[in-house]
Amino acid sequence: MQAIYTALFGLLGLALGSFLNVCIDRLPGERSIVKPRSECDACHRRLAASDLIPLLSYLWLRGRCRYCQTVIPKRVFLVELASGAALAFLCYRYGLTAELGITGFWALVFIVVFVIDLEQGLILNKVIYPSMVVALILAGFFDPPWMEGWIFVPIASAALGGAVGLLMFWLIAVVSGGGMGWGDVKLAGLIGLICGFPLVLLAVIMGAVLGGLAAVGLLVARKRRWSSGQTIPFGPSLAVGTMITLLWGGGISDWYIGLI
Ligand SMILES: [Zn+2]
């Protein structure tokens, strides 16, 4: 049965990945994510159901619009693949549990955060604020494994985590004089609400380190250059750091405490 559920959640993830692409395209503007139905961004022809099959349509059309031949970004394919793989893996890992629902939801939110920040250098309030409300509600009703084993009840752990994340990144933003954007500060607060205290520390430090390494790597490879005062997008690395923390954070912090 587990294999069947894993496959079904993989398919669900592929379908939701198509919806995430719509969110990624439309949320940075003022466009609705439900209306109008999907259309080509270049020629505005309404897309048929056969153009909207996750992964397969992209491969079949060789990454171009059926009508005007405009190139469809590779990201469309990659987002569908990532979201399908994420839900399949999480179902395999957690089975049909509340943890599957919670980590699956955050995986999808963080795919959106990751791609919008990478493409546009934006972390949107309309993504972060509603997510903060959801994180608080979830902490009020569930006791996920990453919040277990500490003296706090989950809602207190979430509130403290949110405050710590916000404060840490606010300090970094002030000290770095613009090297980190305010969107990252709010995102760190959200991550604290999701991971709780103390795992927020692991998530944001891992995110900051991964982001710094990626920036240095790109700089060395001369793929991208940063002038002084320009902000490095930390959203993608914070998103990755948070998902690693939710899945393996308990083990990582036990291992670290074992070292010292
Ligand atoms: Zn077109």
Same domain, 85 and 196: no
Domain-embedded: residue 13: yes
What radius of gyration, in Å, describes the C-alpha atoms of the chain?
19
Q: Residue 32: what pLDDT?
A: 87
Report the pLDDT averaged over residues 1-14. 96
Is residue 105 situated within a structural domain?
no
Question: 144 C-alpha to center of ligand 1: Å?
Answer: 45
CA of 56 to the centre of ligand 1 (A): 17
Q: Do 90 and 161 belong to one domain?
A: no
Boundary residue ending a domain (63, 96, 129): 96
125 and 15 part of one domain: no
Q: Are residues 39 and 149 in the same domain?
A: no
Is-contact 191 123, C-beta < 8 A? no
d(CA 116, ligand 1 centre) in Å: 22
| Calpha distance 246→250 (Å, rounded) | 8
- Interval between CA 95 and ligand 1 midpoint (Å): 40
Same domain as 204, residue 143? yes
- Tell whether the model's pLDDT for residue 146 goes beyond 70: yes
Residue among 243, 122, 100 at smallest CA distance from 183? 122
Cα of 110 vs centre of ligand 1, distance in Å, is: 28
Residue 224 has pLDDT above 70, yes or no: no
Q: Which residues contact 93 (CB under 8 A, 6 or more apart)?
A: 100, 247
The rounded Å distance from CA 74 to ligand 1 centre is 15
Residue 102 in any domain: the answer is: no
Q: Where are the beta strands (DSSP E) in 65-135?
A: none
Count structural domains, the chain: 2
Does 161 map to a domain?
yes
Note down the domain range covering 125: 121-260
**Can you give the pTM of this predicted structure?**
0.92
User: Does residue 185 lie within any of the structural domains?
Assistant: yes
* 81 in any annotated domain: yes
Residue 22 CA to ligand 1 center (angstroms) comes to 15
Q: What is the pLDDT of residues 109-127, one digit of tens each?
A: 999 999 999 999 999 999 9
Same domain, yes or no: 10 and 91 = yes
Q: Is the pLDDT of residue 149 over 80?
A: no
Mean pLDDT score of the chain: 90
Instruction: Decide: helix, strand or coil at residue 39.
Output: strand
Residue 80 and residue 150 in one domain = no
Residues 126 and 251 in one domain: yes
Q: What is the pLDDT of residues 169-219, one digit of tens each?
A: 999 889 987 777 889 999 999 999 999 999 999 999 999 899 989 888 888
Whether residue 108 is contained in a domain is answered as no
Residue 179 to residues 28, 168, 214: CA-CA distances in angstroms?
22, 14, 15
Are residue 53 and residue 142 in the same domain, yes or no? no
